[in-house]
A and B are shown apart, each in its own frame.
Chain A
């Protein structure tokens, strides 16, 4: 049996969660959360930590050089740097609108990569 402390990252409260797992790594108890999402976060974090990725892709003909993007759902934490680096190799073309899909099922994560800012053509 072991105890682990971690900070929930779901909302700015940043509740300190105390998670007790048995010898097989299964969760016995979670304490310290102020809401249901905190409990769910703890359960996922122990088994398979996920993170929302926010990243940058290049944009051609746009008012700026880079277009901010995000994943629509969380992706595996251990892949996050390589996913961000992969995003940097992608290019979209202006104009783009918030919500435009850059890549569906980005790198097989199940999450889409979407545009997060309206960017017009450079005048």
Chain B
């Protein structure tokens, strides 16, 4: 029994490109990949720095080079692309409603894969006091301005947040001629990879202020400077530690939030902690035949890991159109307080599962345990998504299994 309805993939960033390729490879009769931009590539189009595909292709590619690789693979596989088109909604029958210059079109899908990526957290969301001068950008927007439009956001920059995007932009702005005065991080540890601290900050002697935050942005029409203060262990500014940095630009790199309006409006369950999709071991959401992967599921550090997940999601979407539903995933996966989250949220217990998770604090040589399965992991860090393949027996006949961590 072959369902002639297509697999529809929403979003042609790396997750969508890889999921679409896998869906076609695994027997889907037709795969349609929809993106609101005029090109595939998603966020990779503005990632002109290297560090992509090290594991997958054994080469250190730039984001744009990696995007081309996975786009070429999708094209070669016969994926059909629809650009400049926004998906407005999906319903419980997997009808995908789209809009573009030609009007509104409904596509009846046999399966849907949501690869809608994420958005940046804004100044409003973190409430930095001050007026509303020009010169305040989220790091990703600044990246787009510099790398695509050729516009510098300013001349003297302070960056709030030491996640990878903030670090990458510290380097990019320096290379393109700005002065990056400081990177300010509210936590006591950097948010991004150690290699990025080295090659983006240390290489250029850019100071990193850990356990500090911006308490005020000065300036009426244009940013004139920022007040920075140390914070205590509850992240509250400590009176008397304030100092002022003269600058005309503030970049905010304060978090990415999965973009799941389509899912939410369709009544699809989200993980309340991450705002990512809640999926089972097949990457299927709570809406049958609707799958999710990439940053819409959980925010990734490395595209190579996203590739593994997205290939599986695409494969399963194809299998769903060919064979119907999978074994019911009714075993709930939980974590103890050491972890931020776990993907998937539920499993069937009939096959091994590659679980993915993040810890809240760094741990050396800790043992992660789920049911009877244990694994010692030398270095666990919050900014490093971790994965472990767990045998099916661990979940069999259980209602709920908890991922725990034992310090050594």
Contacts and interface: CB of A to CB of B under 8 A. Distances in A.
- Is the pairing of A and B real? yes
Interface of A: 6-12, 14, 16, 51-52, 54-56, 58, 63-66, 68, 70, 77, 80-81, 84-85, 88, 98, 116-118
B62 interface: yes
22 contacts: A6-B198, A7-B194, A9-B198, A10-B195, A12-B193, A12-B301, A14-B193, A14-B198, A51-B199, A52-B50, A54-B49, A54-B62, A56-B176, A63-B38, A64-B148, A65-B151, A66-B149, A80-B203, A81-B174, A88-B176, A117-B45, A117-B65
Contacts of B130: none
A68 B68 CA distance: 13
Contact of A16 (B146, B175, B194): B194
Given A9-B198, A54-B48, A70 B62 contact: yes
Given A85-B177, A118-B68, A7 B62 contact: no
B54 interface: yes
B28 interface: no
Contacts of B175: 55, 80-81, 84-85
B199 A56 contact: no
B275 interface: no
B147 A68 contact: yes
B148 A8 contact: no
Given A7-B194, A116-B65, A56 B203 contact: no
Contacts of B68: 98, 117-118
Contacts of A98: 64-65, 68
B136 to A, nearest CB: 22
Nearest first, the 3 A-B pairs at minimum CB distance are: A14-B194, A68-B48, A65-B150
Interface string B144-187: 00111111000000000000000000000011110000000000
A8 B199 CA distance: 9
Given A65-B151, A68-B64, A117-B68, 18 more contacts: A9-B199, A11-B195, A12-B195, A12-B302, A14-B198, A16-B194, A56-B48, A56-B147, A64-B150, A66-B147, A66-B150, A68-B48, A70-B50, A70-B65, A77-B203, A98-B68, A116-B65, A117-B65
A82 B132 CA distance: 35
Contacts of B198: 6-7, 9, 14
Interface string B273-307: 00000000000000000000000000001100000
B3 interface: no
Interface of B: 38, 45, 48-51, 54, 60, 62, 64-65, 68, 146-151, 174-177, 193-195, 197-199, 203-204, 301-302
Contacts of A52: 50, 60
A116 B51 CA distance: 13
A93 to B, nearest CB: 15
A68 B61 CA distance: 12
Contact of B148 (A6, A58, A65): A65
Q: Which of B49, B68, B175, B199 has the most CB of A within 10 A?
A: B175
A58 B149 CA distance: 10
Contacts of A6: 198
B74 to A, nearest CB: 14
A56 B65 contact: no
A66 B148 contact: yes
Contacts of B151: 65
B195 A9 contact: yes
Contact of B51 (A12, A68, A81): A12
A82 to B, nearest CB: 10
Contacts of B193: 12, 14
A84 B176 contact: yes
Contacts of A77: 203
B54 A12 contact: yes
A63 B195 CA distance: 33
Contacts of B50: 52, 54, 70
A66 B46 CA distance: 11
A54 B49 CA distance: 6
A117 B150 contact: no
Contacts of A81: 174-175, 204
A64 B146 CA distance: 11
A81 B171 CA distance: 10
A68 to B, nearest CB: 4
A65 B144 CA distance: 11
Contacts of A12: 51, 54, 193, 195, 301-302
Contacts of A54: 48-50, 62
A47 B17 CA distance: 42
A3 B46 CA distance: 39
A53 to B, nearest CB: 8
A12 B198 CA distance: 12
A116 B176 contact: no
Contacts of B176: 56, 84, 88
